[in-house]
């Protein structure tokens, strides 16, 4: 039976300040909770009905398993239509290593406000084998309920870093790393030279990248439009833009043997393939 204290502890994680203090976040839904278990994420507790627990989480320690009713799940959930399972997961705090950007692409997102857009951008990174995503603290929280749901499990497959971007990108510049900024005045993506390493900068949904970051870029790239501009055609969704850039980069810079980023990169103790 769910106690009032347990309920308060889980519901409190809908608040970013609490998530940051505790280093925890919530994963909801049959598919996502199962994937978190398969990926070896640090599961603190699972709340689900008896049938689900018997089939999906038979090996979890008993103290981490909580059999609850559908009504109790509704009380815990941040969704309008709760599903059969919910898990509290400890964040995988990944250390940053500049050797990563020297050999692989890194997706950098400045002040992306919509958590659904952020979650979709994480899906793009996971799909195209971009193992590291760096986000600014001014944007949506990658561990918030809508971002986690929008990532569709991609959060477990990439390493997410929150950084104050301007000094961090200046550090990349000092290391002579490629810094590609998406901008309307940039060179067409299809004409620009590309490398499968360095930083790919994408900005806020309404204002794009800040001047601070644009001025640090070694290259500005633009995705050309095939239609005259007008209402609804001024710009691409940030996740769509990330997908186009990553697809073109991978098309031109495919690694020998089609190497891809290893699975479950968001979990602790993951072994990555040799670079």
pTM above 0.75, yes or no: yes
pLDDT of 60 strictly over 60: yes
pLDDT of 25 strictly over 70: yes
Taking only the tens place, the pLDDT of each residue in 61-77 is: 888 899 999 899 999 99
pLDDT of 226 strictly over 90: no
- The rounded distance, in Å, linking the Cα atoms of 242 and 240 is 5
- The rounded distance, in Å, linking the Cα atoms of 249 and 196 is 6
Taking only the tens place, the pLDDT of each residue in 160-172 is: 999 999 999 999 9
What is the percent of the chain where pLDDT is above 70?
89
pLDDT of 204 strictly over 50: yes
* Mean pLDDT across 84-88: 94
- The rounded distance, in Å, linking the Cα atoms of 8 and 194 is 49
pLDDT of 19 strictly over 60: yes
- The rounded distance, in Å, linking the Cα atoms of 168 and 48 is 41
pLDDT of 262 strictly over 60: no
* Mean pLDDT across 112-132: 96
- Partner residues linked to 182 by β-bridges: 221
Higher per-residue confidence, 225 vs 36 = 36
Segment holding 100, helix H or strand E: helix 98-103
Pairing of strands 42-48, 132-135: unpaired
Question: In 3D, which of 178, 213, 160, 182 has the Cα closest to residue 104?
Answer: 178
- Partner residues linked to 215 by β-bridges: none
Q: At what angle are helices 115-127 and 238-252 packed, to 10 degrees? A: 10
Contact between 260 and 201 (Cβ < 8 Å): no
pLDDT of 18 strictly over 60: yes
pLDDT of 227 strictly over 80: no
pLDDT of 275 strictly over 80: no
The long-range contacts involving 174-177, CB below 8 angstroms and separated by at least 24 positions, are 175/98, 175/101, 175/102, 177/98, 177/101, 177/102
Beta-carbon contacts of residue 127 (< 8 Å; ≥ 6 apart): 154, 243, 246
> What is the separation of C-alpha 134 from the centre of its chain, rounded to a whole number of angstroms?
9
Higher per-residue confidence, 225 vs 166 = 166
Mean per-residue pLDDT of the chain: 88
Contact between 121 and 242 (Cβ < 8 Å): yes
pLDDT reported for residue 261 = 38
């Amino acid at each position: 039976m769910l106690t009032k204290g347990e309920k308060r502890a889980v519901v409190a994680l809908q608040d970013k300040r609490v998530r940051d203090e505790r280093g925890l976040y919530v994963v909801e839904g049959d598919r996502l909770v199962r994937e978190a278990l398969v990926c070896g994420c640090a599961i603190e507790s699972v709340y689900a009905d008896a049938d689900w627990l018997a089939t999906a989480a038979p090996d979890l320690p008993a103290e981490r398993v909580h059999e609850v009713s559908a009504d109790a799940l509704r009380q815990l959930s941040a969704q309008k239509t709760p599903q059969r399972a919910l898990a509290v997961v400890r964040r995988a705090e990944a250390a940053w290593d500049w050797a990563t950007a020297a050999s692989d692409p890194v997706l950098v997102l400045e002040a992306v406000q919509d958590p659904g857009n952020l979650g979709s951008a994480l899906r793009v990174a996971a799909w195209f084998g971009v193992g590291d995503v760096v986000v600014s603290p001014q944007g949506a929280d990658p561990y918030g309920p809508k971002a986690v749901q929008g990532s569709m499990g991609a959060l477990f497959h990439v390493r997410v870093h929150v950084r104050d971007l301007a000094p961090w990108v200046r550090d990349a510049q000092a290391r002579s790393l490629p810094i590609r900024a998406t901008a309307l005045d940039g060179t067409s993506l299809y004409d620009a030279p590309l490398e499968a390493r360095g930083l790919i900068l994408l900005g806020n949904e309404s204002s794009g990248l800040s001047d601070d970051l644009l001025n640090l870029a070694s290259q500005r790239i633009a995705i050309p439009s095939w239609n005259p501009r007008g209402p609804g055609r001024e710009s691409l969704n940030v996740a769509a833009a990330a997908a186009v850039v990553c697809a073109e980069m991978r098309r031109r810079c495919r690694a020998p043997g089609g190497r891809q980023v290893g699975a479950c990169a968001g979990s602790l103790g993951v072994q990555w393939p040799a670079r």
